[in-house]
Amino acid sequence: MNNITDIFERLRNGETIPSVDPQAYKLREASYATKKLLVQMNNAADPAEIRNLLSQITDSKIDESVAVFTPLHINYGKHTKIGKNVFINFDCVFLDLGGITIEDDVMLAPRVSLLSEGHPVSPEDRHALRVGPIHIKKNAWIGAGAMILPGVTIGENTVVAAGAVVSKDIPANTIVGGIPAKMIKNIEQ
């Protein structure tokens, strides 16, 4: 184990955490604590109450310009940062132990999954947790059912087509789609 002892810091620094890590239990404990707040948030109808509960989940201020249509599913929350004028539609999933940054003016359609976590492929290491930060830059639009995988940056003004699976960085001002996502065309300015 390195000099950083907190498992959450180690994850944010990109460390792969083996399933036998002595602090692994903290991941589940934190997830259950988040779940308590999620139950309240996902049963709330008042936008201000939803933002307040999301602020508690993310441990950061959620601007009043942010709109969240619940349910929203988050496993940890404290590694998620949300900018201004962000729209999050129904049934999105955030696995944020690796970090999720959503900049201003981003739109997430229904059932978008932002998955900053995964596992090694080798059978002997498969139960370890591997992470990579997700960064969605300003004015991006992520289409319904799209999935963004660990370590991906979505460029400014980019459109990710519905159902796409994004496994690599996407440059600004492009439209991508497919599995895996490939460039469809540039967006003219």
Active site residues per annotation: 119
Q: Which two tokens stand for residue 96?
A: 């944020």
Measure Cα distances from 91 to 10, 143, 146 in Å.
29, 13, 12
**What is the spatial distance between Cα 90 and Cα 73, in angstroms, rounded to a whole number?**
10
Residue type, 151: G
Q: In degrees rounded to 5, what are phi and psi of residue 70? A: -80, 155
**Which residue type is seen at 67?**
A
130: tokens are 């591997």
